[in-house]
Amino acid sequence: MTLLRDTHHGPEGGFRPRQRRFELKESLAQDWHGGSAFRTAWFNAMSMLFPLGEKFFIDSVRAYSDRVEEDDLRAEVRAFQGQESIHRREHQRYNEALCEARGYDLEEFEGPVRRRIAWAKGHFNERRLLAGTVANEHLTAIMAHDLLSHDDVLAGADPEIAELWRWHAVEETEHKAVAFDVHELVGGTVKERRHALVMSSLFFLKDTFRNARIMLKRDGQLWRWRTWRDGFQFLFGRPGTLRRIVPAWFSFLRRGFHPWQHDNSELVARYELARKG
Q: What pLDDT was estimated at residue 26?
A: 95
Q: What angle do the packed helices 265-276 and 126-149 form, to 10 degrees? A: 60
Q: What pLDDT was estimated at residue 2?
A: 45
In this predicted structure, which of 10-19, 131-140, 179-188 has the lowest mean pLDDT? 10-19
pLDDT digits (tens, 9 = 90+) for 193-207: 999 999 999 999 999
Class of domain 25-276: mainly alpha
Task: Write out the DSSP string of the chain.
Answer: --B--SS--SSTT-----------HHHHTS-TBTT-HHHHHHHHHHHHHHHHHHHHHHHHHHHHHTTB--HHHHHHHHHHHHHHHHHHHHHHHHHHHHHHHHT--HHHHHHHHHHHHHHHHHHS-HHHHHHHHHHHHHHHHHHHHHHHH-GGGSTTB-HHHHHHHHHHHHHHHHTTTHHHHHHHHTT--HHHHHHHHHHHHHHHHHHHHHHHHHHHHHTT-TT-HHHHHHHHHHHTSSS-HHHHTHHHHHHTTSTT--GGGS--HHHHHHHHHHHH-
Q: How many CB atoms lie within 10 A of CB 14?
A: 12
Which carries the bigger pLDDT value, residue 154 or residue 66? 154
For residue 58, pLDDT over 90 is answered with yes
User: Mean pLDDT over all residues of the chain?
Assistant: 95
Q: What pLDDT was estimated at residue 3?
A: 46
Mean pLDDT of 11-29: 90
In sequence order, what are the residues at sequence separation of 6 or more whose Cβ sits closer than 8 angstroms to the Cβ of residue 225? Answer: none
Which of 213, 196, 241, 29 minimizes the C-alpha distance to 112?
213
Q: What pLDDT was estimated at residue 14?
A: 84
Mean pLDDT of 19-35: 96
Q: What pLDDT was estimated at residue 50?
A: 98
Q: Give CA–CA dist 266/263, Å, rounded.
A: 8
For residue 1, pLDDT over 50 is answered with no
Residue 168: φ, ψ to 5°: -60, -45
pLDDT digits (tens, 9 = 90+) for 104-146: 999 999 999 999 999 999 999 999 999 999 999 999 999 999 9
Which carries the bigger pLDDT value, residue 129 or residue 5? 129
In this prediction, residue 13 has a pLDDT band, given cuts at 50, 70 and 90, of low
Q: What pLDDT was estimated at residue 4?
A: 45
Q: What pLDDT was estimated at residue 276?
A: 84
In this prediction, residue 261 has a pLDDT band, given cuts at 50, 70 and 90, of very high
Domain ranges in the chain are 25-276
Q: What pLDDT was estimated at residue 275?
A: 87
Mean pLDDT of 254-258: 95
Mean pLDDT of 15-28: 95
Mean pLDDT of 162-176: 98
In this prediction, residue 9 has a pLDDT band, given cuts at 50, 70 and 90, of low
In this prediction, residue 10 has a pLDDT band, given cuts at 50, 70 and 90, of low
Mean pLDDT of 39-66: 97
What is the three-state SS of 190-212?
HHHHHHHHHHHHHHHHHHHHHHH
For residue 277, pLDDT over 90 is answered with no
pTM for the model: 0.94
